[in-house]
Structure 1
């Protein structure tokens, strides 16, 4: 049976967590099950005896996406008991999860895969490569370091500082607030973490850094107000693909996509044919209206031949709207890679320029993703 656990049952999945993630310390697992998991949803599949054989945890975050702010699920803890693998249990759970998210009109979900090949068949694609930096010698010479706590009086000011740092560089990121910062401090405490602020001579915060790890000390995060104070740590920690996403409701997701400022028209009214083999509600021929504030999709009950014949012509909502019968034919995976700004549309089309309608150049992909949460 596949079902969502009641909060009082969350502890029942800890044995599977410990089996699947033996590298996690007891202190980290205590933090996760005692604090982090409380606001989450847990979907499980049980065998005939009621034993949990597969699970997926959905941890909610408020995520800024362009001009939108959505409560989205960060998927963690996906695991199947060792004696029950290769029987389709994980597929059953993930399919139920994706279907429920579509029903709830959640735009997308995301995860940090231990093995990307597990999730590619379910439509997940990479959208974020984790950069690795260290503080450069100039910053260490000119700034003074002070150890901080994230759950005290500085909680809100530090959250504001990070939000400003993120919003000035990226369009997709998890919003920091008091709850976020206090939870992050608990997470760091579970792994003997330390947080440091780097201040200039006026007392202004210029860089923000953390380290954690009981067995092996690692940098958890580093944000600096001036990019020249950072230097790539590519020798020890090369950039790596980190976060995969899956569009679960394409109508909701497209609300965040806007027209490029270089478009000669105030709006576009075009057609897109989307293929999604796992979520039928995303598939089909859609009328895509897009302007500088957002987008909307409306399902069309037409065939491609009728569109090419001009039988779909309708009066546009705004004078000067760019209207085209050139149809973008695209999979849900390609759509995510393109609109999250991870890959160029021409690359996804294997360099066949003729298959990409001209109007696609006027669609503004999301500019910058930064999702560095662990759980």
Structure 2
């Protein structure tokens, strides 16, 4: 728990002015206190239904972390961290999905959100967590806090064979002679869903994704059902060939079609025409945390030898000289304190630019332009030998 400041206010007593102290406290809630944040959620995120919040505060708060700022023993701002296991290359790592960043309207524009973002970043750095991530309401909110996009999602629409609007009820009643059957997933399907998703993502060579298992799909199924949705399964010859996540809160919307290679037309055959829009939608932003940890998880395309000095305005422990040396078989990452004078000629780079490089979201020239940084020819040559964590596939809602 941190006492982060004292606010002063004036009150009058017997004609005299008295200064009264109001303590502001930033803390992480105990498990039994997490439900206290529901009132703030309902006040700020008015679009969320009772059914969804019942699901969230039953399932997601079982093992998440919630940081809050209190004054007068009342919660004024919050930030929730939902745990996910992320596959990064060949390693599975712990990460956190930031959701429900909210401040009571009367307490906005006081820097509360910035304090929560900084505190959580420093805490997770100490846990050697490589990064955490969020789905921003607006990029402008998080950009100043060192968050950068790492994933742009495909946007899908769904129609019938004649272009007609579909509902899930219509879909599961479709008759065809293709041998493909469509049905809504049930709890008993969750183990197979997890195995299927892991197989498809691995074969697609996705480098960063949330690990899928029976528990993952059981939670996702409950989440979708709380929003008048679910998971649709396409089967052929008794085998799972494709799945997609859907909801019907405002017409039929789909996301995350996962289809086994060689069966790309499995939904089309059943009368459900999936159309992928030409333009992707920037969806997930990330903030690098423990730089040494994430760099140590990377591999090289060829022999490399690189030095750079990192600047991180929040996690001061990251402000070091990084020395990377390796080849196709292994990468060694060493660090030391950067020294004025001795290291003046070494390439300087911000944590913001490094985020875009690590996840391969943008070309180096574009990063230089947007971050207003200049990379030397030697730096560009050597950093390009690192294999970025790309492609990324993270599109969870909470």
Q: 1:228 Cα shift?
A: 4.7
Does the 8 Å CA contact 1:163/1:176 hold for their aligned counterparts?
Answer: yes
Provide the secondary structure at the position in 1 that maps to 2:348: strand
Provide the secondary structure at the position in 2 that maps to 1:211: strand
Task: Determine if the alignment matches structure 1 residue 233 to structure 2 residue 257.
Answer: no
- Within 2, Cα distance between the matches of 1:135 and 1:90? 38
Partner of 1:209: 244
Bigger Rg, which one: 2
Q: 1:107 Cα shift?
A: 0.7
- Within 1, Cα distance between the matches of 2:363 and 2:260? 29
Does the 8 Å CA contact 1:346/1:356 hold for their aligned counterparts?
Answer: no
* Match among 218, 225, 230 for residue 189 of structure 1: 225
Partner of 1:322: none
Does the 8 Å CA contact 1:255/1:294 hold for their aligned counterparts?
Answer: no
Aligned residue runs from structure 1 range 1-375, under 5 A: 1-47=25-71, 49-134=72-157, 142=178, 144-152=180-188, 154-169=189-204, 170-200=206-236, 202-226=237-261, 228-229=264-265, 232-234=275-277, 238-260=279-301, 263=302, 265=303, 268-292=304-328, 295-303=331-339, 306=342, 327-350=346-369, 354-355=376-377, 357=379, 358-375=381-398
Does the 8 Å CA contact 2:28/2:65 hold for their aligned counterparts?
Answer: yes
Does the 8 Å CA contact 2:156/2:254 hold for their aligned counterparts?
Answer: no
- TM normalised by structure 1 equals 0.85
Q: 1:50 Cα shift?
A: 0.8
- Paired residues in the alignment total 346
Change over 3 Å in CA distance of 1:38–1:287 after alignment to 2 = same
Does the 8 Å CA contact 2:347/2:375 hold for their aligned counterparts?
Answer: no
Deviations 1:339-359 (A, max 9, x none): 101012232123967455222
Deviations 1:157-202 (A, max 9, x none): 22111011112221000001121111111101111213221123x2
Change over 3 Å in CA distance of 1:301–1:78 after alignment to 2 = closer
- TM normalised by structure 2 equals 0.81
Deviations 1:139-160 (A, max 9, x none): x9846233132521x3212211
Change over 3 Å in CA distance of 1:355–1:211 after alignment to 2 = same
Q: 1:306 Cα shift?
A: 3.5
- Within 2, Cα distance between the matches of 1:115 and 1:103? 28
Does the 8 Å CA contact 2:229/2:247 hold for their aligned counterparts?
Answer: yes
Q: CA RMSD in A?
A: 2.4
Provide the secondary structure at the position in 2 that maps to 1:286: strand
Deviations 1:221-278 (A, max 9, x none): 311224853854328xx52110000001101111221101xx2x3xx33212111111
Change over 3 Å in CA distance of 1:306–1:34 after alignment to 2 = same
Change over 3 Å in CA distance of 1:197–1:64 after alignment to 2 = same
278-287 or 73-82, larger mean C-alpha shift: 278-287
Deviations 1:349-374 (A, max 9, x none): 23967455222231111120000111
Change over 3 Å in CA distance of 1:216–1:13 after alignment to 2 = farther
Provide the secondary structure at the position in 1 that maps to 2:195: helix
Change over 3 Å in CA distance of 1:214–1:348 after alignment to 2 = closer
- Within 2, Cα distance between the matches of 1:4 and 1:296? 35
- The answer for unaligned runs of 5 or more in structure 2 is 1-24, 162-175, 266-272
Provide the secondary structure at the position in 1 that maps to 2:187: coil
